[in-house]
Amino acid sequence: MSTKYGFNAFLWATGSLLSGIALGTLLSPKSGKQNRKLLSKRASRLRRWISTQYESVGIKGQQELINIRRNVQGGLRRNIPDLYEATAQIELSEHELS
> Residue 90: inside a domain, yes or no?
no
Q: Report pLDDT digits (tens) over 20-61.
A: 888 887 888 888 788 788 888 988 999 999 999 999 888 999
> Residue 96: inside a domain, yes or no?
no
Put simply, whether the predicted model's pTM sits higher than 0.75 gets the answer no
Domains of the chain: total: 2
Using alpha carbons, list the distances in angstroms from residue 73 to 57, 65, 76, 82: 24, 12, 5, 13
Considering the domain architecture, whether residues 44 and 63 belong to the same structural domain is answered as yes
Considering the domain architecture, whether residues 50 and 24 belong to the same structural domain is answered as no
pLDDT value, residue 69? 93
Considering the domain architecture, whether residues 42 and 68 belong to the same structural domain is answered as yes
Mean pLDDT (whole number) for 57-75: 91
> Residue 94: inside a domain, yes or no?
no
Rounded-to-integer distance, Cα 7 and Cα 94, Å: 68
Residue 85 and residue 77 in contact, taking contact as beta carbons nearer than 8 Å = no
Considering the domain architecture, whether residues 23 and 50 belong to the same structural domain is answered as no
